[in-house]
């Protein structure tokens, strides 16, 4: 089931082409580094893509780069560089941030400036069909000509015409009309068109790029809640007026991300870029935080929630790492059948959660329940059969690494300045001291290791250690 913003309800998901899903996600406007609010959208729909691939669909994923609009032009002037230089700088930074967050690269990242000719052609078609008009080198879309305008957002054309939500422009027939082509202003980059030199409006860019790479109708169009109106509403008006076909069958939108209960903004001084957050908290902790809430629920970024995400990540990793360290045996030991039943139950619960509109919090709850079972198994055993170990790790890697993008195959190079092998050596020395009944020194070693973030567990079958989580 998928919640469709267009119909305002959950619906069974049926792609247009059996076994294939085509997705368009609105990408960044490359005038600055992306912030953690942007990252929420990119991570949320990366998980959607990953889960559909896990379910066996062939996914074509397109996410655009807006490299020409008012913001990019203004920023290029501020930095005294060309629009192209600005685009290259922040597009590269965007890709670096996505890689850090383990967001899979799109199959295509079309750039607006690469498709100006196709935009002009679409605008000409809209003029020819009577949906658009020209005023002094500008081209506007007449929203009164599209009877279904507002069907995505619920916004009424009548209220827009009164100027309630749209800046009044004397060139427009109606205040609600929006620009398809903007005439050249002094000092701005421009392209030649039948209406004179200028540049495309923001909305026409996505209509063109989605149709080029996914067709006139595709399966999923996604983005942040803030894009529902006017951007996605205007995309629908343009594309469907031109083609006479639905633009997308399912519209998915993620909710806001706030910081300490407030909307993120530079004026409030709470604007956090992805690279700053990654530098301070770690990329995987940030990703864990972003998937900890359902994509359609608000999420608040604060020290408590990011710390909880860090602890949850450590809990998962320490449990899996402790299980990986168990010796591999040729035959099963007591409790393995139960463990295998638990891991299959994990898969079932995980899929049930994700099948219900990609419910990552419920999927994570299933994972943490399994982690408790895994800890109980690992804590009382020295080894596990090779077959069981492989089956358990395979499921974990498919669900966490594969779907949620949480890296479980972490090299234990160093924790708090100590390599795992050095920890093992220290514990070996401690065990020698215990056998010699030098409990005071042995307890001193244990307390120091615990101060460094390790949990030491002594049992009849030996001494084990794990990271605090």
Give the model confidence (pLDDT) of 78-87 as tens digits: 999 999 999 9
So what's the pLDDT on residue 412?
Answer: 53
| pTM of the model as a whole | 0.87
Please give the mean pLDDT across all residues of the chain. 91
CA 192 to CA 279: how far, in whole Å?
A: 44
Indicate the fold that domain 2-254 takes in CATH.
Answer: Rossmann fold (3.40.50)
CATH topology of domain 275-404: Isoleucyl-tRNA Synthetase; Domain 1 (1.10.730)
Determine the pLDDT at residue 458: 75
> Is 96 exposed, middle or buried, given 0-12, 13-18 or 19+ CB atoms closer than 10 A?
middle
| CA–CA distance, 444 with 61 (Å, rounded to integer) | 55
* Burial call 452-461: b when 16+ CB within 10 Å, e when fewer: eebebeeeee
Instruction: Give the Cα separation of 162 and 175 in Å (integer).
Output: 7
Q: What is the pLDDT of residue 162?
A: 65
Residue 268 has pLDDT above 80, yes or no: no
Q: What residues does each domain of the chain span? A: 2-254, 275-404, 420-467
Residue 330 confidence (pLDDT) above 80: yes
Note every long-range contact of 191-194, with CB atoms under 8 Å and residues 24 or more positions apart, other chains counting: 191/116, 191/120, 193/120, 193/123, 194/120, 194/124
CB atoms within 10 A of CB 179: 22
Give the range among 405-414, 423-432, 436-445 with minimum mean pLDDT: 405-414
User: In which band, very low, low, confident or very high, does the pLDDT at 428 lie, cut at 50, 70 and 90?
Assistant: confident
Mean pLDDT of 318-336: 89
Sign of CA dihedral 165, 171, 174, 176: negative
- pLDDT score for 315: 92
Q: What pairing do the DSSP bridges indicate for beta strands 299-301 and 178-183? A: unpaired
Distance, in Å, from the CA atom of 251 to the CA atom of 223, rounded to the nearest integer, reads 8
What is the structure's pLDDT at 419?
Answer: 65
Strands 454-459 and 462-467: antiparallel
Q: How confident is the model at residue 450 (pLDDT cuts 50, 70, 90)?
A: confident
Confidence of residue 13 (pLDDT cuts 50, 70, 90): very high
pLDDT above 70 as % of the chain: 93
Q: For residue 164, is pLDDT > 50?
A: no
* Confidence band, pLDDT 50/70/90 cuts, at residue 158: confident
Q: Chain centroid to CA 440: how far?
A: 51
């Amino acid at each position: 089931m998928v919640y469709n913003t267009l119909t305002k309800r959950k619906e069974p998901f049926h792609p247009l082409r059996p076994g294939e899903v085509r997705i368009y996600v609105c990408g960044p406007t490359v005038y600055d580094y992306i912030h953690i609010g942007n990252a929420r959208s990119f991570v949320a729909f990366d998980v959607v893509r990953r889960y559909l691939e896990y379910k066996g669909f062939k996914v074509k994923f397109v996410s655009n780069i807006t490299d020409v609009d008012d913001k990019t032009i203004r920023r290029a002037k501020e930095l005294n560089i060309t629009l192209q230089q600005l685009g290259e700088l922040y597009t590269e930074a965007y890709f670096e941030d996505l890689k850090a967050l383990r967001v899979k690269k799109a199959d295509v990242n079309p750039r607006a400036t690469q498709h100006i000719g196709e935009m002009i052609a679409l605008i000409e078609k809209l003029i020819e069909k009577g949906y658009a008009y020209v005023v002094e080198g500008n081209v506007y879309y007449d929203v009164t000509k599209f009877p279904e305008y507002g069907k995505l957002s619920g916004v009424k054309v009548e209220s827009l015409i009164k100027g309630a939500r749209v800046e009044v422009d004397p060139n427009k027939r109606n205040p609600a009309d929006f620009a398809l082509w903007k005439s050249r202003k002094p000092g701005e980059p421009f392209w030649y068109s039948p209406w004179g030199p200028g540049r495309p409006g923001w909305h026409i860019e996505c209509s063109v790029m989605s149709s080029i790479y996914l067709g006139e109708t595709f399966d999923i169009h996604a983005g942040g809640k803030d894009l529902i109106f006017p951007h996605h509403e205007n995309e629908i008006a343009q594309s469907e007026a031109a083609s006479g076909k639905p633009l997308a069958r399912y519209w998915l939108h993620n909710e806001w991300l706030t910081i300490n209960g407030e909307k993120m903004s530079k004026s409030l001084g709470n604007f956090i870029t992805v690279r700053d957050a990654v530098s301070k908290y770690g990329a995987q902790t940030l990703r864990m935080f972003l998937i900890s809430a359902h994509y359609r629920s608000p999420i608040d970024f604060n020290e408590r929630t990011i710390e909880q995400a860090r602890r949850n990540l450590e809990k998962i990793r320490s449990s899996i790492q402790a299980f990986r360290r168990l010796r591999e045996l040729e035959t099963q030991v007591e409790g393995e059948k139960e463990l295998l039943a638990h891991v299959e139950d994990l898969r079932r619960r995980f899929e049930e959660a994700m099948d219900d509109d990609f419910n990552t919090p419920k999927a994570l709850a299933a994972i943490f329940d399994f982690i408790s079972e895994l800890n109980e198994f690992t804590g009382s055993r020295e080894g596990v059969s090779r077959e069981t170990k492989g089956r358990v790790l395979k499921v974990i890697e498919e669900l966490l690494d594969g779907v949620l993008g949480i890296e479980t195959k972490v090299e234990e190079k160093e924790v708090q300045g100590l390599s795992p092998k050095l920890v093992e050596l220290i514990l070996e020395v401690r065990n020698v001291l215990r056998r010699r009944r030098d409990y005071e020194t042995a307890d001193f070693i244990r307390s120091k290791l615990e101060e460094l973030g390790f949990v030491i567990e002594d049992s009849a079958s030996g001494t084990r250690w794990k990271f605090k989580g």
